Amino acid sequence: MKALITGVTGFVGSYLCRKLLDVGYEVVGLARSIESDIDDIKMISCDVTDEPLLRNVLMTEKPDQIYHLAGSAFVPISIKEPRQTYNTIVNGTLSLYEALRGLDIAPKVLFVGSAAVYGEGSGVPFKESDLMKPVNPYAGAKACADLISEQYINNYQMNIVRVRPFNHTGPRQSPVFVCSSFAKQLAEIESGVRSELIVGNLNVKRDFLDVRDVVEAYFMLMEKGVSGEVYNVSSQQAVSVSHLLDLLTQHSKVKSLEIKIDPNKLRDNETPVKLGDSSKIREELGWEPAYKIEQTMSDLLDYWRVSIREDFGWIRL
C-alpha cells in the first residue's frame, strides 16, 4: 500500500509516517519545504494549492490512500492572517479534489478537519450531527473544507472520510500550544534559564488526547471508516488546564513554582467546558485511546528536557 500525506512536516505528520512505515506502507510526503528529519519516506516539495503540480504528483505516485493534513492549526495565526489560512485549508482542499477528479485513480481520502468547527458550545459533548458554528478563521476554513468534502462525496462519488479531532498533544508539539508551552517552560525552569511560568486561563476544561491515539484513529478510519461519514475523535473527558499543569509539575524537579498570568492569553467569554462525543468511532471501529493523560504529560516534559539540554549543553538536576 502507498499512502500520500499532505502537510507531512506538521506535528501529526511525523507520527503518522512512523505508524504507516511500521505496518509496511510506502509513504510519500508533501510539504512546501522538504527540509525534514522524517526518514524512510519520499518527500516532495509541493504547495497544496498548486493544482497542476498536485495532479502531476498524483499521476506519478498513484497513492492508494491520501491523508489530508495540510494547514496550520494555530488559531492566533489564522486571526492575524485569515486570507492565508483560508487559502491553504479551503483552496488546498479544493485543489486536491479537483486534481483527483481529472485522473483515473480513486484513492481513499481522509480529510482531517477539526472540532473547532462546532464553535464554543455550552459544555454538552459535541456530536457529529451538531451544526457547525465556527468562531475564528481557522475554524471557518475547516468548516468550509469539510463542506467541500461532503459535496465532492455527493456530486462526484469520491471516497472521502471526514474526521474532526479534538485537542491533542504530545512530544514534539510546538510550544505555542498550551501543554507544550507549560512543559517547555518547566524544563527551562529546571535548567535554570527561566524563573517563572507564564499562563493564561487555567480554569477552562478541554478534551485532550495523546497524538499517538489520534494517529491510530486516523489509521483505523482509513482502513475501516465509511466513505461519506464524519467521525469525532475525542477522549470524552474534559480536563482543566490547571490539572494538566499539576500533572506536569508532579513530574518536574521544580520545588517552588512562580506562576504569572499573561493578560494577552485571556479571552473574553471563553467557553468554560468543551468536549466531544466519540461514541461513533468507538462503536463502529472499536477505537479506544491507549494513552492516559498522565503518561502524555510525562512524555511531553521528558521531550522538552532533552530539547533544552541539547540547546544549552547542560541541565541543572
- pTM score, two decimals? 0.94
Q: Say if residue 108 is in the same domain as residue 58.
A: yes
Q: Say if residue 102 is in the same domain as residue 139.
A: yes
Of 100, 195, 92, 116, the residue nearest 153 (C-alpha) = 100
Task: Assign 314 a pLDDT band (cuts: 50, 70, 90).
Answer: very low
pLDDT digits (tens, 9 = 90+) for 186-229: 999 999 999 999 999 999 999 999 999 999 999 999 999 999 99
pLDDT score for 169: 98
Q: Say if residue 25 is in the same domain as residue 67.
A: yes
Q: Say if residue 119 is in the same domain as residue 189.
A: no
**How distant, in Å, are the alpha carbons of 19, 214, 233, 290 from that of 221?**
14, 10, 10, 16
Mean pLDDT of 127-153: 97
Q: Which of 165, 191, 214 is the last residue of a domain?
A: 165
Tell me how many domains the chain contains: 2
% of residues, the chain, pLDDT over 70: 97
Residue 292 CB neighbours (<10 A)? 12
Of 39, 42, 2, the residue nearest 24 (C-alpha) = 2
Q: Say if residue 180 is in the same domain as residue 108.
A: no
255 phi/psi in degrees, rounded to 5: -80, -40
Q: Say if residue 116 is in the same domain as residue 244.
A: no
- Please state, rounded to an integer, the average pLDDT across all residues of the chain: 93
Q: Which of 106, 139, 165 is the last residue of a domain?
A: 165
What percent of the residues of the chain are helix, what percent strand, and what percent coil, each to the nearest 5?
45, 15, 40
Residue written as grid cell 494513552: 291
pLDDT score for 316: 44
Residue 156: which CATH number? 3.40.50.720
pLDDT score for 36: 60
